[in-house]
Amino acid sequence: MSEPDLIRSARAGDAAAWEQLIISHQEAVFRLAYLMLGDPAEAQDAAQEAFIRAARALPRFDESRPLRPWLLKIVSNQARNHRRAAGRYVAAVRRALLAEPEKVIHPAAEQAARSDAHDLWAAVRRLESKDQEIVYLRYFLELPVTETASALGVPEGTVKSRLSRALARLRDVITRDFPALREDVPA
């Protein structure tokens, strides 16, 4: 059954169709939330809430459009809300008060133990939120430009110009603090 058919069936109350849609997209939705929040439990909460919101809005969704960018847009909003949420704030303070002082990991040792991809993630997290989001969508989740544009709610041309600026800023961060990630360094 095609995605538009599944959407129509889900709207009509077909639980199996809705389950199939969740299965098709839960990985991308969860991964974007994880990239944005950095915590699997919080990412799961955000992803779950995103699917609930999507279910509520499904009757108004235009099934001629792909579902994935729409779901990713919802989950990115959800992840931003999680970052702002008072619950997260209180939890962070509580952790900080109860926990031992944070272990400081020397960057050299840390770098040796982590993969290039995780170092890249650390570099991306130094960028502004909007730069982070477009890099996650385009390069980590490997969305085509059209879907990236749809997920961000901007024209494709804007995606390209934003990506260009985000990459320039990312290059600065990598050059300065993650030299092992430079493209002229052999893997």
Partner 1 sequence: MIDQPFDAAFEQHIQEIAGQMTYPPTPDLAATLARPVGALRPALSARRWALAALGLLVVIAALMAVPPVRAAVLEFIRIGAVRILVGEPTVTPVPTSMPLPPRSGVAPIPQLPVTATSAGPQTTGDLADLSRLYGETTLEAARAVFHHPIKLPTYPPDLGRPDRVYRQNYDQGLIILVWLQPGDPRQVRMSLHIITDDTIIYKFEPKIIQSTTVNGEKAVWLEGPYPLMVTGPSANDMVISRLMVGKSLVWAEASTGLTYRLESDLTLDEAIKVAESIK
- Say how far apart CA 15 and CA 150 lie, in whole Å: 26
Q: For residue 47, state whether it binds partner 1 (rule: CB under 8 A).
A: yes
- Closest separation in Å from C-beta 108 to partner 1: 9
Q: For residue 74, state whether it binds partner 1 (rule: CB under 8 A).
A: no
Contact 180, 134 (CB under 8 A): no
Contact 130, 163 (CB under 8 A): no
Q: Which of residues 133-162 bind partner 1 (CB under 8 A)?
A: 135, 139-140, 142, 160-161
Record the tokens describing residue 12, joined without a space.
């009509």
Residue 50: count of CB within 10 angstroms of its CB: 25
Q: Which of residues 99-138 bind partner 1 (CB under 8 A)?
A: 101-102, 104-107, 110, 115-118, 120-122, 125-130, 132, 135
Q: Rule CB under 8 A: choose which of 8, 44, 65, 145 binds partner 1.
A: 44
Total residues contacting partner 1 by CB under 8 A comes to: 80
Record the tokens describing residue 152, joined without a space.
């961000």
SS3 130: helix
- Closest separation in Å from C-beta 105 to partner 1: 6
- Closest separation in Å from C-beta 151 to partner 1: 16
Record the tokens describing residue 16, joined without a space.
């199996």
Is the CB of 62 or the CB of 183 nearer to partner 1? 183
- Closest separation in Å from C-beta 120 to partner 1: 5
- Closest separation in Å from C-beta 91 to partner 1: 7
137-172: string of b/e by CB count within 10 Å (b at 16+)?
bbbbbebeeebbbbbbeeeeeebeebbeebbebbee
Q: Which of residues 49-68 bind partner 1 (CB under 8 A)?
A: 49, 51-52, 55-56, 58-59
- Say how far apart CA 146 and CA 48 lie, in whole Å: 25
Q: Rule CB under 8 A: choose which of 65, 83, 145, 154 binds partner 1.
A: 83
Q: Rule CB under 8 A: choose which of 63, 80, 154, 158 binds partner 1.
A: 80
